[in-house]
Amino acid sequence: MREVAPGQRLFVRFYFALLASLVTAALLFGLAHLRFDPARAGLAIVGPRMHALGFVVLLVAIALAVAAGAYPVVRRLTRRLERLQRSVEAWGDGQLATRVAVEGEDEVARLAASFNDAAARIEALVGAQKSLLANASHELRSPLARIRMAAELMAEQAAPAIGAELRRNVAELDQLIDEVLLASRLDAVDVAMQPPEEVDLTGLLAEECARVGAALQAGAHTAMGDPKLLRRMVRNLLENAVRYGAGSAVEARLATAGDGALWLDVCDGGPGVPAPERERVFEPFYRIAGASETAGGVGLGLSLVRQIARRHGGDAHCLPNGARGCCFRVTLPRMR
């Protein structure tokens, strides 16, 4: 990027603007002094108090004139900085396509151009990473199917423990690929969700609770969204409670909050989640210290729950459940 010309440097422009303001103020001050000098203006009959008052009024007028002259210059610069700040904040919120208009040839313009270049490179890198992840996850399905078939054939001749271990590992790898593929699709900003449709959330929840043997408390509730994604969200919550609930009873509750939003709570009586880790459990591949890998799971289930909930305009949180266990609450907006 070429250097900024000396006359376009921001500090030079501020310096000359300050000099111009000071010279203007000095000239106006000199004129005011001549105007209100009783000896030179022949106004000795004017009282000292009136003379002082008039002088103060003219000084205020000078200050206002200088301020009015400097305001457009300063405001033009601050508007550019404010636009740059809004663009940076939008980019930080995940809108990677955000760019800043390059205005002028000073340091602010160079900063905007540098930001645009860096944002474009990062957007390209993130896009390439997402594409690679999605394609790799998809391409892994074919060899995984062959591995599963081979494992089934070997399991018939191997010891029962070895056969069970093979099936568990293949199932875990299949789940990992499936969830990584879904996470990469949800994380892609440019991928639009399927057109929302009315989903019988109570019926969907009842089916998933029956599949894992969880208790259900719910009235008749519907929600707008993608039925496949909502089913995956409910299934991940229930499977997480069964997996880490230490054999305790799992209960799902679906109710309406005071503002009309839907609350879906899935609770268990297991060891629970320590308070400092109740946000971290939603990070991809995060496991609580001491969690056994033999319990299954790949560390993406709760991350997908939050992604799906936010994709539908809601959110997901981990709440305490009394002295033991925990509850995962998903909030979904009321149906319009």
The verdict on 324 and 285 lying in the same domain is yes
Give the residue carrying structure tokens 């995940």. Answer: 94
Asked if residues 240 and 297 have their Cβ atoms less than 8 Å apart, the reply is yes
pLDDT score recorded for residue 157: 73
Asked if residues 219 and 254 have their Cβ atoms less than 8 Å apart, the reply is yes
End-to-end CA separation in angstroms for the chain = 51
- In a domain? residue 129: no
The verdict on 233 and 268 lying in the same domain is yes
For the cut 70, the answer to whether the pLDDT of residue 50 exceeds it is: no
CATH number of the domain bearing residue 222: 3.30.565.10
Helix, strand, coil in percent for the chain, rounding step 5: 60, 10, 30
pLDDT score recorded for residue 2: 44
What's the mean pLDDT when you consider all of the chain? 75
The verdict on 150 and 219 lying in the same domain is no
The three-class DSSP label of residue 287 is coil
The verdict on 172 and 256 lying in the same domain is no
- Identify the weakest region by mean pLDDT among 80-89, 236-245, 265-274: 80-89
The verdict on 115 and 12 lying in the same domain is yes
- In a domain? residue 1: no
Mean pLDDT is highest, among 103-107, 206-210, 271-275, for 206-210
The verdict on 104 and 147 lying in the same domain is no
Asked if residues 216 and 237 have their Cβ atoms less than 8 Å apart, the reply is no
The verdict on 177 and 270 lying in the same domain is no
The verdict on 203 and 154 lying in the same domain is no
pLDDT score recorded for residue 81: 78
The pLDDT tens digits for 244-262 are 887 888 999 998 887 778 8
C-beta neighbour count of 308 within 10 angstroms: 26
- In a domain? residue 25: yes
Asked if residues 119 and 95 have their Cβ atoms less than 8 Å apart, the reply is no
Mean pLDDT of 2-25: 60
For the cut 50, the answer to whether the pLDDT of residue 149 exceeds it is: yes
Angle at 235 between CA 275 and CA 258, to 5 degrees: 60
The verdict on 248 and 324 lying in the same domain is yes
The verdict on 166 and 244 lying in the same domain is no
Residues 6+ apart with CB under 8 A from 296: 168, 171, 172, 175, 243
The pLDDT tens digits for 107-120 are 777 888 888 888 88
Mean pLDDT of 220-244: 88
The pLDDT tens digits for 190-228 are 445 567 788 889 999 999 999 889 999 988 888 888 888
Q: Which residue has the higher pLDDT, 51 or 86?
A: 86
Mean pLDDT is highest, among 41-55, 79-93, 129-143, 307-321, for 307-321
- Identify the weakest region by mean pLDDT among 75-84, 120-129, 290-299: 290-299
pLDDT score recorded for residue 107: 75
Mean pLDDT of 215-244: 88
Question: Which of 294, 120, 332 shows the shortest CA–CA distance to 205?
Answer: 332
C-beta neighbour count of 75 within 10 angstroms: 10
Q: Which residue has the higher pLDDT, 66 or 107?
A: 107
The pLDDT tens digits for 286-306 are 777 656 555 555 677 888 899
pTM: 0.57
- In a domain? residue 59: yes
The verdict on 161 and 246 lying in the same domain is no
- In a domain? residue 162: yes
The verdict on 75 and 153 lying in the same domain is no
Q: How confident is residue 7, by pLDDT bands cut at 50, 70 and 90? A: very low
- In a domain? residue 109: yes
pLDDT score recorded for residue 155: 67
- In a domain? residue 53: yes
- Identify the weakest region by mean pLDDT among 34-48, 141-155, 164-178: 34-48
Q: How many helices (H) and strands (E) does the chain have?
A: 9, 7
- In a domain? residue 135: no
Q: Which residue has the higher pLDDT, 184 or 121?
A: 121
pLDDT score recorded for residue 333: 86
- Identify the weakest region by mean pLDDT among 88-92, 108-112, 155-159, 233-237: 155-159
Q: How many domains, the chain?
A: 3
How much of the chain exceeds pLDDT 70, in percent? 67
Domain extent at residue 228? 197-332
